[in-house]
Amino acid sequence: MTSGGEVWAFLETVDGRLHDTATKTASEVRKVARLLGGHPCGVIAGVPEERFLQELAPFGLQRIYALGGQRSEPGSAEEHGHAVATLAARRSPWCVLFAATPLGCEAAARVAVRLGSGLASDCVDFARAGEEFTARRNVCGGKAHATVAWRGPPPHVATVDLDALEAVPESPGEPAELIVEEADFGAPRTQLLRRWRVEPRELDLSEATVVVGIGKPILERTAALPMVEEVAERLGAGLGGSRIVVDGGLLPRERQIGASGKWLAADVYLACGISGSSYHMMGVKAVKHLVAVNLDRSAPIFQHVDFGVVGDLFEILPALAALLGGGKKEGENMP
Amino acid sequence: MRIVVGVKQVEDIAFVRYGSGLAPLRRRFPNPADLAAVEQAERLRGDSGEVIALTVGPPDVEAALRKALMMGVDRVVRVWSDLLVGADSFAVATVLAAAARRLGFDLLLLGARSADTATEAVGAAVAEILDLPLVTRVIGVESAPEGSRMLAHRKLERGERETFGVSCPAVLTIEPGVTEPRYCAPGWVSRTRRGQVELLRPEEIGARADAFSRRLAILEVTSPRPRAKVGVPVAGLSLKDKLAVMRGGRKQPPAEERVIEGPPSEVARRLKTALERFLPRRP
């Protein structure tokens, strides 16, 4: 590669705002552009509002291509893929990066087919060895990594693992130059009939964003279970339990958290009265923030917590429920 | 209704050898998402339907086809040529698309992603090549009341769901873990061994060899390690914290600051503040 090519980030929008992967993907292309000696740029469907540009300003994009043109609302992955591909064919960037969201995965594959490019999916990291640009990607469910290299001419297409992505703002610099390009979105061939959200209460625990886990103490005070359910409800969380609670018949089998039950991938896990046995902790190791309430200060779970409270859950949880207040609409987290 | 289902054998992680590439293959099993696709096809076929399982690979991948036969598919087809050794997902998509077109179908079902390479690109690439409607990450399919249209429910993240209407022929990729593949008794294997695997060669189905040029090459397979964090100052950290940062984690404040004690109302208030800090920004 000679110098000066562009590295593109696909900036996903959803319901009239930037998807939270947009700033992260922008950070990622800044990193890749630095690696390759190119220019970090963004691609966005539709002409972005001023507040989008302000939100993206600290992430160091030099240009933002806005794809103008007719498209349905909300745009499908097919339309986004076609529009990005037509622009990429015209502008010949070095790389096009997508976040590995449902839309990103599909759009990336379509762009790669249209451009005849290689696609590296679910990348964790990028590197440059001499003239070769390589990516490390998850294989076998992330239990191994494969280092892959693109063959053939650019643009190289990649999707980036959502857990690897992080937004790293830089000190505010020059705002990005906005370039509006006419793009061909094509006509959608599938018709979106309905969009809905499964209530946190019914959602499978492995898919839940917030989870409340209850441990052994509840077996001695089963009458307090509705109170714990109330806390979960107000947090917009799914309720699960340790094995002993499930074995005790208080919760159904599919609500068991741990190595032999559900493996969580939640943003927040509130463990109440759970000491943190190694089998339980295996099931929650992918949780981003672990919060625990336990009577015993020496419980192993406190080794892992981001925030812990030593105390009686039957006193603390009702107080928490009162503080959280009622009237939360279903599916909503706290403001 | 004729349904073609793509199936493949995937690597068992317990037997993956680190080194160059994912080959040689050591121990494999049928891809769970593909079995969910077979199950979905069996439920959809109706009285006069036909289900065909299709795979791309050398003779030793026929175990996936036998599993599909056990689950009830009518025909099994394997496409292979030595030109396809080390094929990337687009070469496979090209061959799958050509084979499915040759077989003819109302619905082409594929696993949303494989348990090993997990590119999540084959379904979209096939739909793009065949120029057909596509719904990815599908958890349920039903016939719409009117005509040849299908309703496909898909699973997005964080409990979000969508329902699409698609007209046939169409491509759907099936999400693993939701549609439970039916049980097959071990004794059924002997019966299905007799099932004849039809063999197709890429040139017979009009897949051009120049489409097999690799656009992506696997250089090596290693044990996973988190990405290097840039810009995290580690000079002042203890060895334990440095290791935590190297493993992709973050420096934890000491336990005394993370774990608090006190009267219930006081700690509940701080607990609420902590939870609010950790909860994701609401969409």
Question: Which residue on chain A is closest to B135 by alpha carbon?
Answer: A190
Domain boundary among B181, B212, B243: B212
Is pLDDT at B192 greater than 60 in this prediction?
no
Answer yes or no: do A207 and B159 touch at CB < 8 A. yes
Question: Which residue on chain A is closest to B225 by alpha carbon?
Answer: A145
Is pLDDT at B153 greater than 50 in this prediction?
yes
* Residue B193 domain flag: yes
Answer yes or no: do A306 and B274 touch at CB < 8 A. yes
- Per-residue pLDDT band for B240 (boundaries 50, 70, 90) equals confident
Is pLDDT at B85 greater than 70 in this prediction?
yes
Pick the CATH number of A6-182 from 3.40.50.720, 3.30.1240.10, 3.30.1330.80, 3.40.50.620: 3.40.50.620
Paired strand residues for A99 = A160
Paired strand residues for A44 = A11, A66
pLDDT score for A327: 47
Substitution target in B12, B20, B155, B158 with the highest count of A β-carbons within 10 Å is B158
**How do the domains of chain A map onto residue ranges?**
6-182, 205-324
> Does B191 share its domain with B255?
no
Residues 51-80, chain B: which have Cβ within 8 Å of A?
none
Is pLDDT at B193 greater than 70 in this prediction?
no
- Return mean pLDDT, chain A: 87
Answer yes or no: do B215 and A117 touch at CB < 8 A. yes
Partner-chain residue, chosen from A17, A120, A210, that has the shortest CB–CB distance to B216:
A120
What is the phi/psi pair of residue A220, to 5°?
Answer: -90, -15
**Fold identical between A6-182 and A205-324?**
yes
A160 touches A25 (CB < 8 A): yes
> Does B181 share its domain with B105?
yes
Count of domains in chain B? 2
Is pLDDT at A201 greater than 80 in this prediction?
yes
B95 touches B207 (CB < 8 A): yes
What is the phi/psi pair of residue A85, to 5°?
Answer: -65, -40
> Does B55 share its domain with B184?
yes
Q: What is the average pLDDT across B107-131? A: 91
Is pLDDT at B194 greater than 90 in this prediction?
no
User: Which CATH code for domain A205-324?
Assistant: 3.40.50.1220
Question: Residues of A with CB below 8 A from B211's CB?
Answer: none
* Look-up of token digits 């990607």: A137
Residues 215-254, chain B: which have Cβ within 8 Å of A?
215-228, 230-231, 252
> Does B74 share its domain with B103?
yes
> Does B124 share its domain with B15?
yes
> Does B200 share its domain with B237?
no
Answer yes or no: do A147 and B267 touch at CB < 8 A. no
Sheet holding A144-150, edge to edge: A177-182, A63-68, A39-45, A6-11, A95-99, A156-160, A119-129, A132-139, A144-150, B216-222
B24 touches chain A (CB under 8 A): no
Answer yes or no: do B166 and A333 touch at CB < 8 A. no
- Bridge-based pairing of strands A191-197 and A95-99 is unpaired
What is the phi/psi pair of residue B26, to 5°?
Answer: -115, -50
A22 touches A41 (CB < 8 A): no
DSSP H helices, A187-296, are 217-220, 225-235, 243-247, 278-283
Domain boundary among B212, B241, B264: B212
Is pLDDT at A234 greater than 50 in this prediction?
yes
pLDDT score for A46: 86
Domain boundary among B166, B188, B212: B212
Cα separation, A147 vs B222, in Å, equals 8
Cα separation, A68 vs B138, in Å, equals 30
* Residue B90 domain flag: yes
Give A118 to chain B, closest Cα distance, Å.
Answer: 4
SS3 A136: strand
Is pLDDT at A89 greater than 80 in this prediction?
yes
Question: Residues of B with CB below 8 A from A23's CB?
Answer: none
Structure tokens at B95: 């061959």
- Per-residue pLDDT band for B55 (boundaries 50, 70, 90) equals very high
Look at residues A38, A152, A250 and name the one whose alpha carbon lies nearest to residue B215.
A152
Is pLDDT at A4 greater than 90 in this prediction?
no
Domain span holding position B110 = 2-212
> Does B139 share its domain with B117?
yes
DSSP H helices, A211-283, are 217-220, 225-235, 243-247, 278-283
Q: Which residues contact B257 (CB under 8 A, 6 or more apart)?
A: none
pLDDT score for A96: 95
The amino acid occupying position A163 is: D
> Does B267 share its domain with B159?
no
pLDDT score for A3: 60
Is this structure's pTM higher than 0.90?
no
